[in-house]
Amino acid sequence: MNGSTQAHPDTLFRPMIDPFGRTIRYLRVSVTDRCDLRCFYCMSEDMTFLPKADLLTLEELDRLCSAFVAKGVRKIRLTGGEPLVRRNVMSLVRSLSRHLSTGALDELTLTTNGSQLARFAQELADCGVRRVNVSLDTLDAEKFRAITRWGDIDKVFSGIEAAQAAGLAVKINAVALKNLNEDEIPALMQWAHGKGMGLTLIEVMPMGDIGAGRIDQYVPLSLLRARLEKHYTLTDLDDNTGGPARYVRVAETGGKLGFITPMTHNFCESCNRVRITCTGTLHTCLGHEDASDLRRPLRASEDNGLLSATIDRAIGLKPKGHDFIIDRRHNRPSVSRHMSVTGG
C-alpha cells in the first residue's frame, strides 16, 4: 500500500475510547483455537479446528499486540484454546515481555488448563509473568475426566505446584455446572484458599454449538452464593483486576472468591476489554457477533497506520453491553462462535 491509503501517524498512539467513554486498556489474545482437552461445555468431542495456515504467525501476533500497547493497552492475557499447546508460544511471551521492561505494559498473563504448565512455569516467570489463571472445575479425578473427556487431573495439580514454586500467583477458574460440580464448590473453595489461591466461579455461557443443551448445564451463581452464605461469611470487595469478576472475602478461609455472571448480571458498565482471535479477528464484545478483520490491514503494509485506523473504527462500534440468553425453544447458542475461537 502507498502512503496515501494509510492513516495519519497520530492514530498510532491514539487512546482507544469507545462510544460510552470506556477506555480500552485490556487485550485478550487467543493464540490458538486448539486444546488438548475437550471440556463438554466448551467444545464438541469431534471439534474441527482451523487450518494452521489461517492462524496469524507468532510474529504477527506480537506486532498486533504491540500496536495495541502503543494505543494504551496496559494488560495482555494470552488465551486459547489452550495457549501452551501452540508451537513455540514462549517466543511470543519472551518478545512481549519487552513491554514489561519498558513500563509500557503493566501485566502479561495467561489463562491455561494447567496440563502443560509444569513444562513452562519457570520460563513464564522468567519472562515477567507474575500470575496465571488455571481452569479447573473439580478436584475429583473421575469427574475431571468426564468433564474434559480424557484429561488427567494429576497433570493439572503438578502444573499448579510448578507455577507456585516458580513464584507465580495462581487463581482457579471454575465453571459452575448443574448437577455436576455445584455441590463441590465449598470443597473447591477451601482447597484453593488453603493453597493461597483465589477461586472465581463462572456461569456457563451460550457460545458455539457443542452438541448439547446449555439449559442442562446452567446454574445461576446467585443460587450458589446463597448456598455458600449459609455456611460462610462473604464480604463484598471493591477489588478490580481489570476483568469481569466481582469479588468477596470469605472470613472463614481468608481467601478471595470471585463471581463472573454473564447470564444473571452482565458486567458491561466498566468493560475495558477487547478480544483478538488467533486469525486476527477483533471482537469488542464477547456476547455479540461483531467482528473486525485486523489480519488484512496487518498484512497490507509494514506500516501500522492502516491497522491502527481499523482498530479505531472497531472501537467506535463497541456496543454498550451484551445480553446472553439460553434459547430454550430452539436449544441453540446466543453466539455461534466457540469460546475456544474467541479466546477464554
Helices (H), the chain: 58-70, 89-96, 98-102, 117-126, 141-148, 153-165, 185-194, 221-228, 295-300, 305-315, 339-342
SS3 9: helix
According to the annotation, is 111 in a ligand binding site?
yes
According to the annotation, is 243 in a ligand binding site?
no
According to the annotation, is 273 in a ligand binding site?
yes
Beta-bridge partner residues of 235: 249
According to the annotation, is 127 in a ligand binding site?
no
Residue 26 phi, psi dihedral angles, 5° rounding: -130, 120
According to the annotation, is 205 in a ligand binding site?
yes
According to the annotation, is 158 in a ligand binding site?
no
C-alpha cell, 146: 468426564
Q: Is 97 exposed, middle or buried (0-12, 13-18, 19+ CB in 10 A)?
A: middle
Q: Is 231 exposed, middle or buried (0-12, 13-18, 19+ CB in 10 A)?
A: exposed
Residue 78 phi, psi dihedral angles, 5° rounding: -90, 135
According to the annotation, is 81 in a ligand binding site?
yes
Largest CA distance in the chain: 66
According to the annotation, is 335 in a ligand binding site?
no
Q: At which residue does the C-alpha cell 458455539 appear?
A: 208
According to the annotation, is 35 in a ligand binding site?
yes
Alpha carbon of 159 to those of 107, 120, 164, 192, 268: distances in Å? 21, 9, 9, 14, 32
According to the annotation, is 148 in a ligand binding site?
no
- What gap in Å lies between CA 13 and CA 305, rounded to an integer? 10
According to the annotation, is 39 in a ligand binding site?
yes
According to the annotation, is 101 in a ligand binding site?
no
According to the annotation, is 90 in a ligand binding site?
no
According to the annotation, is 130 in a ligand binding site?
no
- Binding site for S-adenosyl-L-methionine, by residue number, is 41, 81, 135, 205
Which residue positions form the known binding site for [4Fe-4S] cluster? 35, 39, 42, 268, 271, 285
Binding site: residue ranges?
28, 35, 39, 41-42, 77, 81, 111, 135, 171, 205, 268, 271, 273-275, 285
Annotated binding site for GTP: 28, 77, 111, 171, 273-275
